[in-house]
A and B are shown apart, each in its own frame.
Chain A
Amino acid sequence: MRARRQSRSHRPLVRFLLRRLGALVLLLIGITLISFLLTQAVPGDAAIANLGQHPTEESIRAFNEKYGLDDPLPVQYVTYLGNLVQGDLGVSQQTHQPVVDDLSVSIPATAELAIFAIVFSTIFGVAFGVLAALRRDTAVDHGLRVFTLAGISVPMFWLGLLGLYLFFFKWGLLPGGGRLDPTTTPPTDVTGLNTVDALLDGNFATFWDAFKHLILPGAVLVLYSVSLISRYTRSAVLEVLHADYVRAARAKGLSEYTVVTRYILRAALPSIVTVMGLVFANVLAGAVLVENIFNWPGIGQYAYRSAVSLDLPAIMGVSIFIALVYVIVNLIVDLLYAVIDPRVRLS
């Protein structure tokens, strides 16, 4: 044990990082290939999908020529990769904007929702998980178990709809979708996150409006993530709850608060970090459904609209972006994991 710890210099970390980055590049090539092949499998003609029901032959030919759809497949793929490396994802056939521009507009919207969901679900999830573990097999634990199982069983899109019906339509407490009221002037674009930008402007009314719009879609995403985090935290805490060093800490007369935060949570942290990667993926996936219900102009809605309208450059762009985020988050989780838990060997 001691020998291993001594041999742990920075070198394994660097080597680990390089190997993971290499794997990441391969993975990304695979992802572009998959999304490329998938979009090629489209039996429907992209030109027809975009030009309406009865396009003329000339307009089809012009369309195909414009987007290079007549080249052989490998040529199309290489062209795409070449453009991709230069940050050019092509032009969306639906919005007639570069896909990169479309993404840069919709990413902050999703980011705001995701950050809201992740922050609140982490706070409540960890609290619930610790509580359930400390009160194991009591009514509190059973209650939280039913609650978290319900949380992962609820169809998000249905919950969102129900929330809209009650809080917007019935009681008028919360806005009915979108990021801001139509009457509210958007804040100066700094981060793209309306709540943060409004605060930077010092405009509290705008902040409140943006925040109110976040509550319902955010809560729907939070419920699911809270359940995941809580279940993982409970497991992790139970694992160390009766460890000798925890008992020793208690025997020393440390307060329950210190024991829980300094000893138990510290040991449970790697598991909590691990589940964060999963939560991130679930929030991204949930965004597709939730954004569609709340008319939230994020990447989920963009992905859905481009998929339904067979907007190939947009589909590829958005799926590559989501996969990229997903892969990078997992890399960060693995790294954090190794940093937090010295027992993990980077092999």
Chain B
Amino acid sequence: MSTTEAVLPPSRMRRFKRGGGAAAKPARAWWRAPTMLVGLTIAAIWVIVAIFGPLLAPHDPLAQEFAITQAPSGAHPFGTDELGRDILSRVIVAARNSLPLAVLLVVCAGGLGTALGVIAGYVGGWVDGVIMRLADLFSAFPAIVLAMVVTASLGPSTRNAVLALVTVTWPIYARVVRSLVLSIGQSEYVQAFRLHGASARRAMWKEILPNVVGPITVLATIYLADALLLLAGLSFLGLGTQPPTPEWGSMISVGTQYFQNWWMATFPGLAIFSAALAFNFIGDGLRDVFDPQSQVGSGARGSDPAAEEGDA
């Protein structure tokens, strides 16, 4: 149902061959794109915050103070929450929860989607039919709706939220990988490889798979932002990470109940926004690097994968 046909037009595919020279001839050097630079900087900051969170946090994120819901001050730059916990520390520590989860989600969904896409494109026939109809089926629901039903059924927890979102996001990757495998499989160099006596399996491992890795990496970066927003959305609805673990989405959810204390929701929201924006900036820049004419879709239908992300 979705319209993703390919991340990159087949003509650009050789770039990814053998990994090397992926950015051999970018139309515009990536470091000259300021948004890419901003994105990389913000992302780097968040990675550092995620790794060294407990060392950077000024307070214990779970420690409660007697004075609750304090407005931002010198002692608590982001204020305190309804239990008197320091919001800055909670935002910082939540990074090591939210960011790895988004990565985990993208890796799992990407892995599953890639595997199924390769099988569909490679085996073909009824196997292809079954896998792609399954992909249609799972993308017939807006991601958050199906994820909501899945987490509600299995019980709200971080693990179930990731599981639910993997269930609904793998088709994105499967479609792209399948069309890549199909187009690469028909390309001249793979045909030549086969003519030299290479088995189909060898062609798969030596020629096709290495060429799928590049585009999938770009796609995964773009969907990292999406994953972050979906996970935060589920937590906001109370279906993801459960308290008292600090999580951006659920902190905003608490903030809705303490509406007049603007700082309770504003700062965790800024954290989600900045991280998602960073990934989108990087993804946008990566597309420019990998495909200077990324505006031009591969088929008759436009295929702007960044514009494609959604359901958040």
Q: Which residues on A are within 8 Å of B, measured CB to CB? A: 26-27, 30-31, 34-35, 38-39, 41-44, 142, 145-146, 149-150, 152-159, 161-162, 164-165, 169, 224, 227-228, 231-232, 234-236, 238-239, 270-271, 274-275, 277-278, 281-282, 284-286, 288-289, 292-293, 303-304, 307-308, 310, 315, 318-319, 322-323, 326-327, 330, 337, 341, 343-344
Contacts and interface: CB of A to CB of B under 8 A. Distances in A.
A274 B4 CA distance: 11
B309 interface: yes
Given A155-B273, A161-B255, A319-B146, A235 B302 contact: yes
5 contacts: A27-B133, A34-B137, A158-B252, A165-B259, A270-B300
B180 interface: no
A303 B148 contact: yes
B272 A234 contact: no
A232 B307 contact: yes
B76 to A, nearest CB: 19
Nearest to A277: B3
Interface string B135-158: 011101111111011101111000
B256 interface: yes
Given A161-B252, A319-B145, A154 B273 contact: yes
A153 B137 CA distance: 27
A242 to B, nearest CB: 11
Given A149-B277, A330-B1, A292 B265 contact: no
Contacts of B140: 27, 30-31, 323, 326-327
B295 interface: yes
Q: Which of A162, A165, A281 has the most CB of B within 10 A?
A: A281
Q: Please provide the 5 A-B residue pairs with the shortest distance between their CB atoms, ordered closest to farther.
A: A158-B269, A285-B142, A231-B307, A271-B302, A307-B152
Contacts of A289: 144, 233, 236-237
Contacts of A154: 273, 276
A231 B1 contact: no
A306 to B, nearest CB: 9
B219 to A, nearest CB: 15
A275 to B, nearest CB: 7
B155 A307 contact: no
Contact of B280 (A142, A153, A341): A153
A281 B277 CA distance: 22
Contact of B141 (A146, A159, A270, A326): A326
Given A161-B252, A165-B259, A153 B273 contact: yes
B37 interface: no
B137 A270 contact: no
Given A228-B310, A285-B145, 10 more contacts: A38-B149, A44-B155, A149-B280, A152-B225, A155-B312, A162-B269, A234-B295, A285-B311, A307-B239, A319-B146
B141 A322 contact: yes
B306 interface: yes
Contacts of B295: 234-235, 238-239
B111 interface: no
Contacts of A224: 310, 312
A92 B296 CA distance: 48
Contact of B259 (A169, A234, A322, A323): A169
Contacts of B304: 231-232, 235
A278 B149 contact: no
Contacts of B255: 161
A288 B276 CA distance: 20
A160 B133 CA distance: 36
A137 to B, nearest CB: 9
Interface residues of B, number: 63
Contacts of A155: 229, 232-233, 236, 249, 252, 269, 272-273, 276, 312
A161 B300 contact: no
A278 B277 contact: no
Given A35-B149, A149-B35, A149-B284, A228 B232 contact: no
Interface string B226-270: 000100110011110000000001001001100110100110110
B3 A274 contact: yes
Nearest to A307: B152
B307 A304 contact: no
A90 to B, nearest CB: 16
B236 A157 contact: yes
Contacts of B238: 308
B152 A157 contact: no
B170 interface: no
B6 to A, nearest CB: 14
Contacts of A227: 307
B226 to A, nearest CB: 8
A328 to B, nearest CB: 10
B154 A41 contact: yes
Contact of B137 (A31, A239, A284, A303): A31
A232 B269 CA distance: 27
B281 interface: yes
A155 B270 CA distance: 9
Contacts of A344: 300
A26 B140 CA distance: 12
Contact of A42 (B153, B276, B300): B153
A323 B144 contact: no
Contacts of B225: 152-153
B280 A307 contact: no
Contacts of B150: 38
Contacts of A26: 133
Given A39-B153, A161-B255, A270 B301 contact: yes
B310 A231 contact: no
A236 to B, nearest CB: 6
